[in-house]
Amino acid sequence: MHMRAAVLPLFVLAALALPFGPRKAALTFEEVTKLAEANAATPEGKAYAEEVSRHFTEQHVNSLRECAQGAKTDEAEKKPFQLALRISKRGKVDEVLARPQTRAALCMMRTAVKDHLSKPPRGGAYWVIVELTPTP
């Protein structure tokens, strides 16, 4: 077999592995907030956002308490924070952003990612904002 014939398939595979077109820049928290507000502007979206908030306050109370334990002496760490959750069409949390990025918020980001919720009212990247307050 000729050397070029053996190497050509490798070049083709490498070219197919590269992403097509420019990559999108990550969304800022402000951009995500606008998307979440637009989602919550419909009756179904508002009900879904309330359901997700209720899920987090009920199901993640222990995680929030544990995340706040390491920060209980720092007053800035006791302030409320927001988590922006990108929820897939199947109800899985795919991405989490936090504002402000306190230790408790970063800890909750790790807890929230890969969480499973009910399916959002519509498919695609569906953003919801959850407000949490650390309680040590």
* Helix/strand/coil percentages in the chain, nearest 5: 50, 15, 35
In this prediction, residue 124 has a pLDDT band, given cuts at 50, 70 and 90, of confident
d(CA 115, CA 110): 10
d(CA 60, CA 114): 13
- Domains of the chain with bracketed CATH: 23-132 (3.30.1150)
10: its two tokens: 């490798």
d(CA 114, CA 106): 15
Q: Kindly tell me if the per-residue pLDDT of 5 is higher than 50.
A: yes
Please state the rounded mean pLDDT for residues 23-35: 86
- In the chain, DSSP assigns E strands to 81-87, 93-99, 126-132
Q: Kindly tell me if the per-residue pLDDT of 12 is higher than 80.
A: no
Q: Tell me what pLDDT residue 123 has.
A: 77
